Structure 1
Amino acid sequence: MRNFTCQCGNTVYFANTQCLSCNRPLGFISEMGVMASFNVSDNGDWVTPLSDKRYRPCVNYASNHICNWMVENTSDKSLCHSCELTKIIPDQSKELNAKRWYRMEHAKRRLLFTLISLGLPIWSQRPGKPQLQFQFLEDVEEDEYGQELTVKSTVITGHSNGMITLNLKEAEDSSRIMMRERMNERYRTLVGHFRHESGHFYWDWFIRDSEKLDEFRAIFGDERQDYTQSLQTYYKNGPVSDWQERYISAYASAHPWEDWAESWAHYLHIVDTLETADEYDVAVGHQQVNAPVNQHKGVDFDRLFDDWGRLTTVLNALNRSMGLDDAYPFLIPAAASEKLRYIHNLIQGE
């Protein structure tokens, strides 16, 4: 993730809404991929030296304090491009849901920033392809009198035909940690969910019914095997015995679609974290860590992968020094790195 600069020269960050130095309001302009500082004119227009256009804050910025993205003044829409993608929001009559909704939207916007930086389609339309959408749902059971009771059924986080569904409990640290322990996972984050589920969306967008299917199957396996049965087998028996030699995670061994989504998520972990390291001029062993999203095209995968290996070694060592879990608790076998290479080359070609 990049840092940005206010027109006063102060450093500002992706989640900020106000410069702490000059008090100017801040907002993200998605068309430009930048966080801008604004002057508010007498008629209420938000004006920035970064653009000749005039803006207003998204209604979820101005009224709900959930967002910090901007809308062009010429638009007849009240929501920014990010908030328009969310089709179902949490019930705001419930006390804690505003905080949960904010966390969901912040993680979603972080995903969108990386997708924008990589030049991937988000709001584009293509015949026969789904549109990216989100819904944030919560577990609810009602008795015959309409009163909420102990949860009986669970909202499943997942993707279907462009719609990414997130269980609202994933926005609660305690619930997410409990689920991580229950699922015997070493890593479970909100932004990780968004990155994983976006992988399913982009598989539909780039791979399904395309000339890329044969190459995909040669690398990830045949996705035509029964998906439901594969997941049932995984949850009953666990991962295949040699998963650590072939997959980036245990869950990736469940089915080729999950292998792709896990690999896609890890690729987004890599490029976002490398960009952050580059933003702070991080060097490991006197060698600068490069940000692949800054270059976008022509990035060498081997250099990217080498930078990632050196950086995560340091990140994990620093966490251990603080008594924390590893920041990146994964070892990437050669077979899994080739899957990352495939995704890298696919994105580079777009």
Structure 2
Amino acid sequence: MQLFKCTHCGQLLYFENDKCEKCTYPLGFESKQLQLVPLVPEADGHTFRLYGASPSDGPTYTYCPNHAEGACNWLVPTTSMGSFCTACALNRTIPNLEQPEHRTRWRRLEVAKHRLVYSLLRMGLPVVSKAVDPERGLWFDFLADPNPEAGERVMTGHDEGLITINIAEADDIEREMARKAMAELYRTLLGHFRHEVGHYYWDRLIDNTPHLEEFRALFGDEQQDYGDALKRHYAQGAPPDWAQHFISSYASSHPWEDWAETWAHYLHILDTLQTAHAFGLSVNPVVAEENHFLRATISEEPYEQANFQRIMDHWLPLTFAMNSLNRSMGQPDPYPFIITPAVTEKMAFIHKVCQEVN
């Protein structure tokens, strides 16, 4: 995520801010410019112009309706045909907000989803609702378990552009219990979004395209039975040498899951490196003067870097530093993974495919 600052007073801002704490100007995210901007209200009190824009002919905006629920700070042009912002227009179903815990969980889901959509827009990928493009669009269902006492559970997953997320994933305790039950190193709400949207973009960027044969050479033949592959994985586990070829044990279950897991980590890397770049970070451990693999000055915007190896050259030192800092605080590693040459090759393929979209 890039850094944002208030163009009225210069205060640094978080992506989710809807008011500048220094100058108190209202803030809104403008998704065409990908900027968080201070707003000047019009006389009607609910329409705004961007600070510094012409008061006579500049565009006007309203907040997305979900701003009133504390779940969105994105703007909608008053000329828009729809009432929701680019991110919230992707929702098909949200939970029953009359239940307080549902409202809290939904807000957490929206924070993660809006960060995801920012990344997709920054990458120049197609982001369109199924309401606009029923065949190739994207939708989200955020659902609660209908009868958990009877074992009726909502399954998080993807099906032809519809991504379903069980809102229990927005509860830290329930998510940690699931992580332990499934013996996962890492389980986050944003990670779920990145993984599931990876399935969607496989359909958009790989299936029935010239990239399909190269995908199969790297990830395997996706035509093998998906249901049988998952049953085999849960019954027998991952192969003993999975860590040499896959980013996670689950990635070894089927080529589609390998793609989705690798895609999620690719987005982890791009967004974290963009944050490091925005802060002007460099890693130069004083006890490793001759070990250039642990040194990096993150001076390049990763979303604009064509050479994926340059991205990886920055990622290894940054994750070593992040993990070391967390251990000093008594916290677990934020990135407890080892990226092997085989996984790097898969990520480089994803990077190439995404670069070709623009």
2:116 corresponds, among 111, 114, 121, to 111
1:287 aligns with 2:286: no
> What aligned pairs does 1:216-235 form with structure 2 within 5 A after superposition?
216-235=215-234
Counterpart in 1 of 2:126? 121
How is 1:236-251 mapped onto 2 (pairs within 5 angstroms)?
A: 236-251=235-250
1:346 and 2:353 matched:
yes
CA displacement at 1:319 relative to structure 2: 0.8
Aligned equivalents of 2:222, 2:192: Cα separation in 1: 21
SS of corresponding position for 2:43: coil
Quote how far apart the aligned CAs of 1:26 are. 0.6
User: Within 2, Cα distance between the matches of 1:153 and 1:127?
Assistant: 32
Please state how far the C-alpha of 1:151 moved relative to its aligned partner: 4.0
Provide Cα deviations, 1:93-129, integer angstroms capped at 9, x if missing partner. 2121111000001100000111111111112899995
2:311 corresponding residue in structure 1 = 304
Q: Which amino acid aligns with 2:162?
A: M
- SS for the counterpart of 1:21 is coil
Q: Quote the offset at 1:81 in angstroms.
A: 1.6
Would you say 1:58 and 2:67 are equivalent positions? no
Quick check: 2:296–2:317 contact (8 Å CA) kept in 1?
A: no
What is the aligned partner in structure 1 of residue 74 from structure 2?
A: 69
* Structure 2: distance between partners of 1:77 and 1:131: 15
Contact persistence 2:219–2:259 (CA under 8 A): yes
Correspondence for 2:105: 100
Corresponding position of 1:140: 146
Question: Which deviations, in whole Å up to 9, do the C-alpha atoms of 1:74-101 show, x marking residues without a partner?
Answer: 2243211211101000111212111100
Paired with 2:52 and 2:353, the residues of 1 have a C-alpha distance of: 32
The answer to whether the Cα contact below 8 Å between 1:140 and 1:153 also exists between their aligned partners in 2 is yes
Looking at structure 1, the residues matched to 214 and 135 of structure 2 have their Cα atoms a distance apart, in angstroms, of 20
Which amino acid counterpart does residue 96 of structure 1 have in structure 2? E
Distance 2:239 2:334 in 1: 25
Asked whether the equivalents of residues 144 and 167 of structure 2 are also in contact (C-alpha less than 8 Å), the reply is yes
**In structure 1, which of residues 306, 326, 333 is the aligned counterpart of residue 340 of structure 2?**
333
Contact 2:65–2:83, Cα closer than 8 Å, also in 1: yes
User: Contact between 1:290 and 1:304, CA under 8 Å: does it hold in 2?
Assistant: no
Unaligned runs of 5+ in 2: 285-294
Aligned AA (1:57) = Y
Q: Is the 8 A contact 2:3 2:279 kept in 1?
A: no
Q: Is the 8 A contact 1:57 1:70 kept in 2?
A: yes
Matches within 5 A, 1:7-26: 7-26=8-27
User: What amino acid sits opposite 1:336 in the alignment?
Assistant: V
Look up the equivalent residue of 2:85 and give its one-letter code: C
Question: Match for residue 331 of structure 2?
Answer: 324
Per-residue CA deviation, residues 266-303 of structure 1 (Å, 9 max, x unaligned), is 00000000011111111012632145445x2x521111
1:48 is aligned to 50
- Tell me if the contact between 1:140 and 1:151 (Cα under 8 Å) persists in the aligned partners: no
What displacement does 1:241 show? 1.3
- 8 A contact 2:277–2:301 mirrored in 1: no
2 CA distance for matches of 1:227 and 1:106?
31
Residue 10 of structure 1, CA deviation: 1.2
Q: In structure 1, give the amino acid aligned to 2:50.
A: T
Q: Which residue matches 1:3?
A: 3
- Greater shift after overlay, 226-235 or 205-214? 205-214
Kept after mapping to 2: 8 A contact 1:275/1:290: no
How many percent identity over aligned positions? 44
